[in-house]
Amino acid sequence: MGRYAIEAVELHYRYPSGYEALRGINLAVSKGEFVAIMGENGSGKTTLIKHFNGVLKPTSGKVLVDGVDTRNVPVSKLSRRVGVVFQNPDHQLFSETVWDEVAFPMRNFGFPDDVVKERVERYLRLMGLYEYRERSPYLLSLGERKRLTIAAVLAYDPEIVVLDEPTAGQDYIQKEHISGLMNLLRTMEKTVVVVTHDVEFVVEHVDRIILMSRGRVVASAPPGELLTNPRVLASARLMPPQLVRLAIQLEKKGILRLDGIPEASQIVEAVLKRWTGG
């Protein structure tokens, strides 16, 4: 048993084309922690998470999953502990029906039939897809296909869940679905790693943000600390959330003192206070 759920030590990865996507990553994700990996496009986020279940092996350095070096374990074994939902659902639908799609990994891992049946039903209902169980996955909408790929991973109950851009292309209702799911994962004491550009989603759900730029980790801090630091965010070509930007301007005018990510009501209150001379 390792100290951390995931640990990367001096991780370097170079693609066969010669491009070095990861240049000395050091990070540790504790058990039960919710972490977001953020950064500009091409910063190495997806390459990094592909190391967590061993799909990619380090060129140098190492990745430990619960203390186990990923270089020494096949992907089929690591995947049982680390469930990865990739960004594009169309790259990860393999079965003829929605039901079979959720059952697919469980059958690969050798789950008994009654467990498969119970879990498929539970997770299809949870994701609002049960009524489509006899349909082809390819006939679902993009949002539904995305939720189906999440259901397929959650159903086999991995200890660590890695989600690549779970809210990309999702409308408000579907984002709420995924938010509910994050809350559920927290009650299940899962370790969760999310790759995302969605600042609001991060503020609501994660304990810590790991900020990446050009294959390196440039910062690691709680959202309240990191998202209120425009200088650090700019190094990864990110902008603070709108509320933070507004609060920074108000702080410059002496109207508000920036202390973490403000609530809209705090800003309104501070402005009204100044307006009325209170």
Partner 1 sequence: MSSPLQAFKYVKKDTFMDSLDPRSKFALSISLLLASLLSNSVTVQLALFATAAALIAAAKRASQWLPTLKALTPLVLLIFAANLVFTPGMPLRGAALMALRFLAVTTAFSLFFLTTTPDDIALALEQSGVPREYTLMLTMSLRFVPTLADDVETVTAALLSRGFQLDRGNLLQRARNYVYLLVPLIVYEVRRSLMIAEALESRAFGATKHPTSLYKLSLRPVDYAVILVSAIVAATPLLVNTATPQLP
Q: Which of 43, 47, 70, 79 binds partner 1 (CB under 8 A)?
A: 79
86 binds partner 1 (CB under 8 A): yes
Bridging pattern class, strands 20-29 and 60-65: unpaired
> What is the DSSP-derived secondary structure letter of residue 176?
H
Contact 6, 191 (CB under 8 A): yes
For residue 136, what are the CA distances in angstroms to 129, 139, 167, 178?
Answer: 12, 6, 23, 22
Query: Least distance (Å) from partner 1 to the CB of residue 160?
Result: 12
Which of 95/179 has CB closer to partner 1? 95
Query: Least distance (Å) from partner 1 to the CB of residue 169?
Result: 14
Report the greatest alpha carbon distance in the chain.
70
Which residues are CB-neighbours of 62 under 8 A, at least 6 positions away?
Answer: 8, 9, 10, 11, 69, 70, 71
253 binds partner 1 (CB under 8 A): no
68, containing H or E segment: strand 68-69
Termini Cα distance of the chain: 57
The two structure tokens encoding residue 160: 């660590």
Query: Least distance (Å) from partner 1 to the CB of residue 156?
Result: 8
Q: Report the C-alpha gap between 213 and 234 in whole angstroms.
A: 10
138 binds partner 1 (CB under 8 A): yes
Q: Which of 5, 8, 37, 84 binds partner 1 (CB under 8 A)?
A: 84
**Among residue numbers 23 through 62, which ones bind partner 1 (CB under 8 A)?**
50, 53, 55
Query: Least distance (Å) from partner 1 to the CB of residue 60?
Result: 20
The two structure tokens encoding residue 256: 């508000």
Q: Which of 28, 68, 73, 75 binds partner 1 (CB under 8 A)?
A: 75
Q: Which of 1, 41, 91, 277 binds partner 1 (CB under 8 A)?
A: 91
Q: Which of 59, 108, 141, 183 binds partner 1 (CB under 8 A)?
A: 108
Length of the chain, in residues: 278
| Number of residues in contact with partner 1 under rule CB under 8 A | 27
Query: Least distance (Å) from partner 1 to the CB of residue 260?
Result: 36
Contact 9, 58 (CB under 8 A): no
Q: Which of 59, 60, 72, 76 binds partner 1 (CB under 8 A)?
A: 76
17 binds partner 1 (CB under 8 A): yes
**Among residue numbers 142 through 171, which ones bind partner 1 (CB under 8 A)?**
152-153, 156
Contact 267, 273 (CB under 8 A): no
Which of the stretches 92-100, 181-189, 206-214, 220-228 binds partner 1 when contact is defined by CB under 8 A?
Answer: 92-100
Spatial strand order of the sheet with 60-65 comes to 20-29, 6-14, 60-65, 68-69
Interface with partner 1 by CB under 8 A: which residues?
16-17, 50, 53, 55, 74-76, 79-80, 83-84, 86, 88, 90-94, 104-105, 108-109, 138, 152-153, 156
